[in-house]
């Protein structure tokens, strides 16, 4: 019997074990899942690399179309089926249960390394609270830390333990409660640091003075120099991939969170609020990081890539002098909050699926998974020392254990899942299946026509291109 027929018969959907208290609780938890460490370093890095304001304009257009479509689909699937990914897809079409199984394995893989990254951030919090900011600004500090056989494991296990305790406490008493107080604090911190970065001023050894306002203009002004069709397509794909990973879609998380949403919640408004919160944090992150890097390192400093957070920014904080100690501490606390809320959502997606699969209690499943992922986190943390390997990935990069897990889950599985889900919704069950759920609370689905066009025609093509690009097949064809 479908979730819709349950509502018709009893006036409400079947209850699940745990639910969000209302729209605010759901939005804060979902926004917490979406706002992760990628917003804080990947978005600013891509904006600096891909033409500043040009990247931002493209990204905002994709948020309102592509991101809206995938986020709406996942949340509506969750609430309508009242199930996590495996059984959600099976209830839509029994033959498509395989898609739910593939989706389930995305957080299974991501969870092996997310606590490791959280551990890295936790280490830097300790650095700034113990007065070791000068050492953190050194070129070899981060490398020495992650190649240690003890320290990264300790911090990864600590972060994993905190995540597990929150998930153990349940949906409303754990996930929602933490998200409700953590996300406002995160927002206040990022706004405060962004404003401070605009007041910075520094004269280098060559007598060149740079200001935070100049850095803001570098960030916001569209840079069209050297723009070709090929470069524009690359910027488009970068923006697509950032949006894709930022919103926590196609990994079962939003399906799981959607299954905890009560029938009277306005999903249309919730989707809009999640989009605004996630995009706002990403834009503020760029306003916070790019002017700071520009002031002390110029345009060259903005090409740091993945090392920006752990190598470049500690140098900037040290160059600020005494205020840098406080700003550095606040930045890494904020980054820890963002990473923790995302890590919670990843573990929750696994726990929810396992509860349905094995008909076991949340507490029992959480304890078992905690043991498994503490062991996995230790192995991944040692991937830069004892278990160090170098593997050439299909996209041309060379990766260690963490990079391998990240590539399989993010670059291969997630685009593939999105492609299949758009085909399922757009051409097998039809967009009306989702639209009915979006309007089931009596509220109007304002972007209904846009959703139909995107899910049937645009999104499948975009996801196919992204899949080819992220797996390296597009370059091979070209």
**Residue burial 52-69, b: 16+ Cβ < 10 Å; e: rest:** bbbbbebbeebbebbbbb
Mean pLDDT, range 68-90, rounded to an integer: 96
- Going by the DSSP 8-state scheme, the letter that residue 335 receives in this structure is H
Mean pLDDT, range 441-456, rounded to an integer: 95
Residue 16 — very low, low, confident or very high, per pLDDT cuts 50/70/90? Answer: low
User: pLDDT at position 308, please?
Assistant: 79
Residue 238 — very low, low, confident or very high, per pLDDT cuts 50/70/90? Answer: confident
pLDDT tens digit sequence for 424-442: 999 999 999 999 999 999 9
Asked if pLDDT for residue 477 goes beyond 70, the answer is no
Residue 15 — very low, low, confident or very high, per pLDDT cuts 50/70/90? Answer: very low
User: pLDDT at position 42, please?
Assistant: 83
pLDDT tens digit sequence for 391-420: 998 867 789 999 999 889 988 898 899 999
Q: Mean pLDDT across the chain, nearest whole number?
A: 90
Asked if pLDDT for residue 27 goes beyond 70, the answer is yes
Mean pLDDT, range 285-293, rounded to an integer: 91
pLDDT tens digit sequence for 38-72: 788 789 888 988 989 999 999 999 999 999 999 99
Q: Which of 34-48, 75-89, 142-156, 295-309 comes out lowest in average pLDDT?
A: 295-309
The percentage of residues in the chain with a pLDDT greater than 70, rounded to a whole number, is 94
pLDDT tens digit sequence for 341-368: 999 999 999 999 999 999 999 999 999 9
Asked if pLDDT for residue 476 goes beyond 80, the answer is no
User: pLDDT at position 306, please?
Assistant: 61
Residue 4 — very low, low, confident or very high, per pLDDT cuts 50/70/90? Answer: very low
Measured CA to CA, the distance from residue 128 to residue 369 in angstroms comes to 32
Of 188, 153, 381, 359, the closest CA to residue 281 belongs to: 188
Q: 430 phi and psi, to 5 degrees?
A: 90, 145
Residue 287 DSSP SS3: helix
User: pLDDT at position 10, please?
Assistant: 36
pLDDT tens digit sequence for 160-197: 999 999 999 999 889 999 999 999 999 999 999 999 99
The residue among 306 and 469 whose pLDDT is bigger is 469
Out of 237-241, 306-310, 367-371, the most confident range is: 367-371
The residue among 15 and 105 whose pLDDT is bigger is 105
Residue 415 DSSP SS3: helix
CA 115 to chain centroid: 14
Mean pLDDT, range 28-36, rounded to an integer: 88
CA atoms within 13 A on the CB side of 327: 23
């Amino acid at each position: 019997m479908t979730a819709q027929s349950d509502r018709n018969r009893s006036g409400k959907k079947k209850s699940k074990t745990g639910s969000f208290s209302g729209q605010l609780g759901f939005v804060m938890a979902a926004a917490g899942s979406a706002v992760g460490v990628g917003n804080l370093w990947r978005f600013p890095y891509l904006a600096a690399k891909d033409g500043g304001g040009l990247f931002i304009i493209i990204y905002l257009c994709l948020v309102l179309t592509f991101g809206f479509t995938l986020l709406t689909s996942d949340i509506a699937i969750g609430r309508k089926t009242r199930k996590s990914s495996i059984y959600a897809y099976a209830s839509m079409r029994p033959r498509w249960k395989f898609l739910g199984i593939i989706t389930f394995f995305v957080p299974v893989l991501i969870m092996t390394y997310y606590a490791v990254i959280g551990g890295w951030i936790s280490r830097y919090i300790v650095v700034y609270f113990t007065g070791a900011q000068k050492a953190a600004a050194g070129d070899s500090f981060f490398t020495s830390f992650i190649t240690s056989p003890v320290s990264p494991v300790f911090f990864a296990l600590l972060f994993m333990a905190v995540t597990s305790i929150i998930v153990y406490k349940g949906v409303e008493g754990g996930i929602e409660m933490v998200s409700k107080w953590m996300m406002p604090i995160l927002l206040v911190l990022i706004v405060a640091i962004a404003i401070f970065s605009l007041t910075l001023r520094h004269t280098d050894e060559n007598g060149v003075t740079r200001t935070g306002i100049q850095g803001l203009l570098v960030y916001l002004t569209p840079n069209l120099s050297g723009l070709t069709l090929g470069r524009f397509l690359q910027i488009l794909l970068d923006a697509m991939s950032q949006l894709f990973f930022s919103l926590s879609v196609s990994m079962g998380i939003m399906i799981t969170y959607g299954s905890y949403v009560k029938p009277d919640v306005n999903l249309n408004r919730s989707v809009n609020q999640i989009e605004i919160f996630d995009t706002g944090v990403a834009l503020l992150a760029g306003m916070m990081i790019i002017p700071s890097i520009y002031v002390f390192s110029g345009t060259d400093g903005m090409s740091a890539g993945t090392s920006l957070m752990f190598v470049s920014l500690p140098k900037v904080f040290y160059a600020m002098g005494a205020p840098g100690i406080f700003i550095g501490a606040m930045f890494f606390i904020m980054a820890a909050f963002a990473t923790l809320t995302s890590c919670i959502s990843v573990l929750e997606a696994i726990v929810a699926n396992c509860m349905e699969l094995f008909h076991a209690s949340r507490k029992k499943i959480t304890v078992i998974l905690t043991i498994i992922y503490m062991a996995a986190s230790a192995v991944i943390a040692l991937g830069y020392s004892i278990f160090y390997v170098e593997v050439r990935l299909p996209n041309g990069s060379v990766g260690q254990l963490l990079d391998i897990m990240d590539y399989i889950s993010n670059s291969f599985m997630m685009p593939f899942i999105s492609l299949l889900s758009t085909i399922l919704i757009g051409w097998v069950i039809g967009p009306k299946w989702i639209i009915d759920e979006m309007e089931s609370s009596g509220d109007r689905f304002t972007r209904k026509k846009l959703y139909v066009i995107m899910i049937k025609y645009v999104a499948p093509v975009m996801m196919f291109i992204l899949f080819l690009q992220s797996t390296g097949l597009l370059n091979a064809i070209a």
